[in-house]
Amino acid sequence: MAALDSLLPLCRRQAPGCPDFLLREALRHAAREFCRDSWFARRTLELALEAGVSHYDLVPEDGAEEIIGADAVEYRGQPLQPADPRLLPQRPGRPSAFLWLPPATLELVPYPPEDADDLSEPAWVSVIVQPAPEADSVGDDIVRQYDHALADGALARVCALEGAAWSSPQAAARHGLLFHAAKVNAKGRALRAHLPRGLRVLPRRFA
């Protein structure tokens, strides 16, 4: 995780005089919006299955993040398909599909039966995350590739403040467009990286 304060230098020159606490809050807001709109930040969680249990509350590994979605589940080397709610009511059996229930619950369809005797192998869940509301850090993967985008999102917010010494509608609009373009770019990259067969990884080819 990277501290939000590490992004402050990217903002200060474009909003001279803006207090750091306002920039920090704007960066946090931008990071949450970026993750929510792009689904770029993914984490893989190990999920231990239990006999007779269909619903599982998911908890992020890092307390500075919160889970906002699940886009893939794999069990015993096979991807589970997104469930159609019309398939319910539930029934026991080997899980073959999953359903995301906000704010952070995963439902398996079917669910492991009460007499299941071999649940030693976990399921793997690809979840979408965003910084928690009070987080002072953001994922390294986001900062590494989209640090300037987060700065643009923050600047669009603070430059739109009316009456402030650093306010500028033109700068707010310019940074807002750059931020929007970065979100669209990140969403496209996230979609291309999401393979239809769950969490499998393609081999890297070298020229």
Question: Would you kindly state where each structural domain of the chain is located, as residue ranges?
Answer: 2-39+139-192, 42-131
Contacts of 30 (CB under 8 A, 6+ apart): 149, 150, 151, 152, 153, 154, 156, 157, 179
Residue 85 confidence class, pLDDT cut points 50, 70, 90: confident
Q: How far apart are CA 145 and CA 182, in angstroms?
A: 10
CB-CB contact of 16 with 23 (8 Å) = no
pLDDT in the model for residue 204: 40
pTM of the shown model:
0.86
As a whole number, mean pLDDT of residues 94-103 equals 92
Look up residue 202 and give its two tokens.
């393609």
Residue 123 burial (CB count, 10 A):
20
Residue type, 140: D
Q: What pLDDT, in 10s, does the model give residues 124-153?
A: 999 999 999 999 999 999 999 999 999 999
pLDDT in the model for residue 143: 96
